[in-house]
């Protein structure tokens, strides 16, 4: 079996969807999804709406404006938009074609907040003053100030904020339902981080992509030692503090499972998930050293594959197996390139005449 056969099997039926907007939420496994989209764009030579100039995101935490995209005047529209931004539909529409497929991802807000606390500890004023997440949630108003919203976006209803809504809005039933209905109308699919493989099976169906297009290794994940175990009362407090995120998550978790039941049924879903996982194991055996286990930054030999570190989080990455042939190495490298390096790489491909992005 030649490397081509091994690496690219199982074409989906019908033409693949190539105009895609992914709302990349924070600390939700969205970096893994971003890698899937970057790889697809690079392999199929599609244009990506990348941050202009020295920026590494599309104006976040400000509401997105079309001018945050490099080359937006000269190239009217792009195929794929997937970098961090705060959703603002009228401006996104200036950049993306009318037939764009919109999707996003959510995570249980308890664990999303725990991850944010570690990752943005030194950035968000609300987190900086709190000795621990337990202490923060025992008395959030001691640390959290509404007037510092743009610095504190990671500290309360961060996913709600990313969708363009007010994270400090009262949890009023009519308001919550109207906003959820808005997301429902615009986004054809919302993935759930806790059920990422099932989500990817559904995404692949909707996009009519090949299996290899959605196989991915976990990127931007933390080592076990930088994950905090939360007491049951802390979890309860997190759900109350991030009540808008909790409502959003509950709704789209139910919605995902409803769609999976309706479109695949349990047996077919199990088979599809098993295929995805088997392919991931195959590619891990082919590509990765260290038995495929993610490594801590100091153990990653290639500086180009070292992920950006933030706060007290210990972000893991991968080592490629030595001695891979050129084609296999290229495929494997795409699977493990951290998002900032990948973005800089695509930027240089799309805008060779511009100064390259400098990655911290």
Which DSSP letter does residue 315 get?
B
Radius of gyration of the chain (CA): 20
Average pLDDT for 326-331: 95
Its pTM stands at 0.93
Nearest-angstrom CA–CA distance, 139 and 129: 12
Nearest-angstrom CA–CA distance, 196 and 107: 10
- Which parts of 17-130 are beta strand (E)? 20-23, 80-81, 101-106
Burial 299-327 (b: 16+ CB within 10 A, else e): ebeeeebbbbeebebbbbbbbbbeebeee
Q: Predicted confidence band at 314 (pLDDT cuts at 50, 70, 90)?
A: low
Nearest-angstrom CA–CA distance, 278 and 297: 27
Nearest-angstrom CA–CA distance, 71 and 75: 6
Q: What is the pLDDT of residues 240-297, one digit of tens each?
A: 999 999 999 999 999 999 999 999 999 999 999 999 999 999 999 999 987 677 777 7
Q: What local confidence, expressed as pLDDT, does residue 225 receive?
A: 63
Pairing of the two strands 189-192 and 295-296: unpaired
DSSP assignment of 274-288 equals HHHHHHHHHHHHHHB
Q: What local confidence, expressed as pLDDT, does residue 74 receive?
A: 76
CB 46 within 8 A of CB 36: no
CB 339 within 8 A of CB 35: yes
Torsion, Cα of 55, 179, 33, 231 (10° steps): 100
């Amino acid at each position: 079996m030649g490397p081509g056969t091994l690496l690219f099997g199982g074409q989906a039926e019908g033409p693949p969807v190539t105009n895609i907007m992914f709302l990349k939420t924070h600390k939700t496994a969205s970096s893994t999804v971003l890698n899937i989209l970057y790889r697809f764009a690079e392999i199929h030579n599609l244009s990506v709406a990348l941050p202009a100039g020295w920026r590494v995101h599309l104006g976040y935490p400000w509401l997105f404006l079309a001018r945050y995209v490099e080359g937006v005047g000269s190239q009217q529209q792009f195929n794929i938009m997937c970098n961090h931004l705060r959703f603002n539909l009228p401006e996104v529409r200036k950049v993306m074609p009318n037939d764009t497929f919109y999707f996003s991802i959510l995570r249980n807000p308890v664990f999303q907040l725990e991850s944010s606390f570690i990752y943005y500890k030194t950035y968000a004023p609300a987190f900086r003053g709190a000795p621990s997440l337990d202490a923060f949630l025992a008395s959030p108003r001691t640390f959290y100030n509404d007037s510092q919203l743009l610095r504190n976006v990671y500290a309360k209803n961060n996913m709600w904020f990313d969708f363009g809504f007010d994270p400090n809005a009262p949890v009023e039933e009519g308001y919550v339902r109207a906003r959820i209905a808005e997301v429902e109308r615009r986004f054809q699919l919302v993935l759930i981080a806790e059920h990422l493989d099932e989500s990817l099976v559904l995404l692949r169906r909707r996009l009519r992509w090949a299996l290899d297009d959605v196989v991915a290794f976990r990127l931007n994940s933390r080592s076990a030692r930088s994950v905090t175990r939360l007491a049951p009362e802390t979890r309860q407090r997190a759900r109350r503090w991030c009540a808008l995120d909790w409502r959003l998550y509950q709704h789209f978790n139910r919605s995902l499972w409803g769609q999976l039941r309706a479109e695949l049924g349990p047996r077919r879903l199990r088979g599809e998930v098993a295929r995805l996982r088997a392919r991931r194991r195959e590619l891990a055996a082919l590509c990765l050293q260290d038995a495929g286990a993610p490594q801590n930054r100091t153990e990653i030999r290639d500086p180009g594959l070292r992920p950006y570190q933030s706060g007290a989080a210990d972000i893991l990455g991968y080592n490629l197996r030595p001695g891979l042939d050129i084609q296999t190495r290229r495929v494997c490298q795409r699977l493990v390139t951290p998002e900032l390096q990948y973005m800089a790489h695509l930027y240089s491909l799309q805008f060779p005449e511009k100064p390259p992005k400098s990655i911290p």
